[in-house]
Amino acid sequence: MIFQVKALMASGEVVLLRVDAAAEADARREVESRGLSVFMAQPVKSVATMRFGSRAVRVNALAFSQELLMLLRAGLSLVGSLEAMAEKELNVATRAVVEALLQKLRRGGRFSEALVDSGGNFPQILIAGVRASERTGSLEETLQRYSEYASRMDEARKKIIAALIYPVMLLIVGLLVSAFLIGFVVPKFAGVYRDSGSEMPWASALLFDMGRVIGAYPFEFLFGALLLVVSVVAAFSLPATRTWFGLRIRALPGVGVRLRVYELARLYRTLAMLLRGGTAIVPALGLAATMLSGAMRVQLASASRQISQGEPISRALDSNGLTTKVGNRMLSVGERSGGMSEMLGRIADYHDEETARWVDWAVRLFEPILMALLGLVIGGIVILLYMPIFDLAGSVKQ
């Protein structure tokens, strides 16, 4: 469950955070571990989410930012831009969110407050950037930075997804073919061999027994398979299950290191965007914590405390395991040159390219292995189907 937590930083600034936790107490502990004082935590659905029927409204923040930026650059005011967006919007739920923003602004509220209260479920990173722009009057620059940030994040995610599409489709097709053979073809062969009364190898007999049972109760097995799929999907919708699975994946040799690099790239890109927008480093670290897994969030909270006590950023992140060797050298250069936000962006680009190369290599290695395994399974089923025929042919020759 997602909780919205209002907390007080050591500097006296009030921040709003979104935390994924099983209960309110867990959300409070998570935020307090970052050195913040919590004075309000509520489920997101009760404070910042409109609901139409049973469906929660989630606005596409990237599309919203890009469209609003174009209208502002065309010379429209903020209110005029939102009015134009509401007039052309065909989706009823999205239009309601934009109209809620307008109502807040017409009452004299700030745009950042309107984003929080509108129910559009806007990301905290965008809200923090807008809040900083209200002090500097650079809303267009903030929207531009967020659009670039979200586009790069989306691009990195799409590269990984695109690389995994073919292996996943191959696995699904292989499983469907195996299910068809066992559920339809094997029962047909089992009936033929049963009528012949001939003996068969034990492996073939075991396969045919399985086929006969499935053939006798096809709808029950189909229902059981669907129930298994639904149960797996429901289990993975729980934060505890995702956390457990994530820990198991990170324990795999080689994979855990690459996942850590991918998370660090997201962290650096988020920090770069927030620092460019004028957010101080400690609040930026608190907002960027949402990009990390549970264990790395604890490390980031420790690094944030060290930085607030005067420790250099590169040293604090390195001592808490939040850098790579290359990244730490680049951070040191950024500290000396004063261009920390630009350097963080370059580190993120470097790690994104590194991750993309590794994913491409892993997929190229995994595809032939997967095809070989599926070929062995399907080929094994076919061989077991025909083994009694081979035995019968041999006995006839004798």
Structure tokens, 387:
């083994």
Cα angle 224, 226, 232 (rounded to 5 degrees) comes to 100
- How do residues 350-371 score in pLDDT, each as one tens digit? 988 888 888 888 888 888 888 8
Q: What is the pLDDT of residue 138?
A: 79
Q: Measure the CA–CA gap between 313 and 240, rounded to whole angstroms.
A: 32
Task: Answer yes or no: are the C-beta atoms of 150 and 66 closer than 8 Å.
Answer: no
| Cβ-Cβ contacts under 8 Å for 211 (sequence gap 6 or more) | 182, 183, 185, 186, 187, 189, 190
Whether residue 394 is predicted with pLDDT greater than 80 in this model: the reply is: no
Classify domain 1-48 by CATH architecture: Roll (3.10)
* pTM, 2 dp: 0.65
| Cβ-Cβ contacts under 8 Å for 112 (sequence gap 6 or more) | 127, 130, 131, 134
Q: What is the pLDDT of residue 266?
A: 86
CATH 1.20.81.30, the chain: domain bounds: 148-398
CATH 3.10.20, the chain: domain bounds: 1-48
The superfamily in CATH containing domain 148-398 is: Type II secretion system (T2SS), domain F (1.20.81.30)
What 8-state DSSP symbol labels residue 324? -
- How do residues 306-353 score in pLDDT, each as one tens digit? 998 888 898 999 998 889 888 889 999 988 888 888 899 899 889 888
Beta bridge partners of 19: 3
